[in-house]
Amino acid sequence: MSDQLTTLRVIAFPGAPNLPTFAALEKGFFRAENLDIELTLTPDSVTQAKRTAAGDFDIVFTAFDNVVAYGEGQGAAGPDTDPQYVVIAGATQLELAVIAASDVKTLAGLKGRTVALDALSTGFAFVLYDMLAQAGLGDGDVEFVPVGATPQRWQSVRAGDHAATLALEPFTSIAQRAGFNVLARSSEIFDSYQGGVIATRRTWAAEHPDLVRAFLRASLAGLAWVLDPQNRDEAENILRARMPEIQPAALQSVMDSVLSPHSGLTPNAEILPDGMKQVLALRSRFANGGNALTDIAKYLDLSFYDTVINQK
């Protein structure tokens, strides 16, 4: 291995699904590929898109819907922001949970209340809109307020500023342990939903194919290590060290969710075609002025991934 490391700038949302990246850092998998990773956690999807569009990041862990939104000129940062997102691998099925104040027992109980979101036109917001529609709530029944990523949203509900929000792990388990209610989970209404993906900027990937492949090799090694049951105890320790807000009592439920392919990490970081089609269907339904979107291929470049997998 060469002593010369290449720095890759990576941005992700806060959350337990970052565990494979944390593990790859701790176990030296990136260093084995001669990579030095600068990991930044974004406060919200708009900041992530704007900074990626400005060239601040090379690799982006984001929601698949964000890739679609900006690819269609519908991104929450506005039509002038083009981060050139393209998916290079899958990541998570991602279970989104509606967490609510203790006095709210059902989704219908959110009528007349405020709900915290990252932004009002993101895929996760569309998941909530669909849940509320199925509960009989219509336009104007609930007020939606943009607050930011899951940590900020959870804090706003805990402080009583808003009645509910969407959360992912570990914040779902943290909220439950604190006495808040889980009103619904995306895994209960969708058979498949492509939550997180690994993306990059199209122009950067075209100019640095070897770095994209090196990053994927290290990431896949981290994922395989995390999913190996023999490593669970050490993986738990890595997650606690990186996310000290996870109380010991919540750790097992967080890990169970993240390690399940139905609510967390996808083995081999494969894409979920049916889950991607679900994302397109929701955006087609809820995006203002949105066209019917059906072709997932336009948002993908799996050539780097395929090469890495075939070399295994």
Whether 1 is covered by a domain: the verdict is no
The domain of 279 spans 6-93+193-310
145 and 263 together in one domain = no
The whole-number pLDDT of residue 2 equals 55
The whole-number pLDDT of residue 147 equals 95
DSSP characters over 133-184: HHTT--TTSSEEEE--SHHHHHHHHHTTSSSEEEE-TTHHHHHHHTT-EEEE
Could you tell me the pTM of the whole model?
Answer: 0.94
Mean pLDDT by 10 residues, the chain (312 residues): 86 97 99 98 96 98 97 93 98 95 98 96 94 95 96 97 96 96 95 97 98 99 99 98 95 96 97 98 88 95 98 85
The whole-number pLDDT of residue 165 equals 98
Boundary-marking domain end, from 163, 189, 215 = 189
- What residues form DSSP beta bridges with 61? 198
Residues 32 and 208: their CA atoms lie apart, in Å, by 18
CATH number, position 171 = 3.40.190.10
Please state the domain count of the chain.
2
The whole-number pLDDT of residue 8 equals 99
The whole-number pLDDT of residue 288 equals 75
224 and 298 together in one domain = yes
Boundary-marking domain end, from 165, 189, 213 = 189
